[in-house]
């Protein structure tokens, strides 16, 4: 019995010694975990993907407020402002322009710690979210510049289904739901600032972001309803816009500290 006890105790000590030495050999992280809230500004080029197929890049500006939930999960409030443009000579013979403001709520995850535990200098954050896009779009003749179509005029109303009007006429901007997805890669410039690159696609619940409807090149008449009025939900293809941007993030505290 004593022999078995001594053997078991020796085996336990051997296993404990092995685990202890393994833990001592494991490299310790050089950084203390810290993920303060942050504010970011960005700028870049947009692309509009609608009925007018000749794409045009236009500049935009954006800002985001990010509040961490954990060291890898965060909630973000991005706001973007700019102008979307596209044109097409064949069939439509139109050039469109849409000035927009977009506000959204998104969730992002830093995936790099799942693969590289020992660093906090670089972040790779895919994100998804939803929000509202406020815009006013117009389409003009490519040759003469004459107005062909627009989304809002003195006869425009708010509506839930595109048919039943609500409230007073003269709504200056349309607003539609938008779903967004993207990925952002950042690297630290200091303990409270980083630089990042950002790619995003925005899927908008409308076919009139380019003031043009599927396969319809009719021109509105003076004094008529805005050309794009009507129930187009579910029947028409939806428009999209995307961007490539660079920016700076400013943290309300130190994002990492050396041990």
Q: Which CATH number fits the domain that encloses residue 153?
A: 2.40.160.20
Residue 190 falls inside a structural domain = yes
Q: List, for residues 30-84, the tens digit of each pLDDT value.
A: 545 568 999 999 999 999 999 999 989 999 999 999 999 998 899 999 999 999 9
Q: Quote the number of domains for the chain.
A: 1
Per-residue confidence band for 171, with pLDDT thresholds at 50, 70 and 90: confident
Residues 214, 228: Cα–Cα separation, whole Å: 11
Residues of the chain with pLDDT > 90: what percent? 54
Whole-prediction pTM: 0.81
pLDDT tops 70 at residue 222:
no
Question: Of all helices (H) and strands (E), which one includes residue 18?
Answer: helix 2-25
Residue 67 falls inside a structural domain = yes
Residue 159 falls inside a structural domain = yes
Residue 7 falls inside a structural domain = no
Residue 107 falls inside a structural domain = yes
Residues 83, 60: Cα–Cα separation, whole Å: 7
Q: Which of 30, 89, 44 is nearest to 243 (CA)?
A: 44
pLDDT tops 90 at residue 27:
no
- Segments forming the whole domain that contains residue 113: 36-258
Min mean pLDDT across 74-88, 153-167, 200-214 is at: 153-167
Min mean pLDDT across 46-60, 65-79, 174-188, 244-258 is at: 244-258
pLDDT of residue 109: 95
| Residue 172 dihedral angles phi and psi, to the nearest 5° | -85, -25
Q: Which of 180, 231, 181 is nearest to 208 (CA)?
A: 231
* Strand 158-159 relative to strand 165-166, pairing: antiparallel
């Amino acid at each position: 019995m004593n022999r078995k006890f001594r053997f078991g105790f020796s085996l336990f000590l051997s296993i404990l010694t092995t685990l202890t030495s393994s833990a001592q050999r494991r490299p310790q992280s050089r950084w203390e975990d810290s993920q303060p809230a942050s504010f970011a500004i960005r700028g870049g080029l947009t692309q509009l993907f609608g009925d007018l197929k000749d794409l045009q890049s236009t500049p935009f500006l954006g800002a985001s407020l990010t509040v961490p939930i954990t060291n890898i999960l965060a909630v973000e409030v991005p706001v973007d402002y700019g102008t979307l443009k596209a044109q097409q000579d064949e069939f439509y013979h139109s050039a469109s322009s849409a000035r927009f403001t977009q506000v959204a709520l998104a969730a992002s995850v830093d995936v790099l710690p799942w693969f590289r535990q020992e660093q906090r200098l670089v972040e790779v954050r895919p994100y998804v979210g939803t929000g509202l896009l406020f815009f006013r779009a117009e389409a003009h003749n490519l040759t003469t510049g004459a107005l062909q179509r627009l989304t809002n005029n003195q006869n425009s109303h708010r509506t839930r289904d595109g048919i039943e009007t609500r409230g007073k006429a003269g709504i200056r901007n349309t607003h539609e739901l938008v779903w967004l997805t993207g990925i952002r890669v950042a690297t630290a410039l200091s303990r409270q600032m980083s630089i990042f690159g950002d790619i995003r696609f925005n899927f908008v619940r409308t076919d009139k972001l380019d003031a043009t409807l599927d396969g319809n090149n009719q021109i509105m008449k003076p004094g008529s309803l805005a050309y794009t009025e009507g129930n187009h939900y579910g029947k028409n293809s939806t428009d999209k816009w995307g961007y490539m941007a660079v920016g700076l993030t400013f943290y309300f505290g130190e994002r990492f500290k050396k041990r």
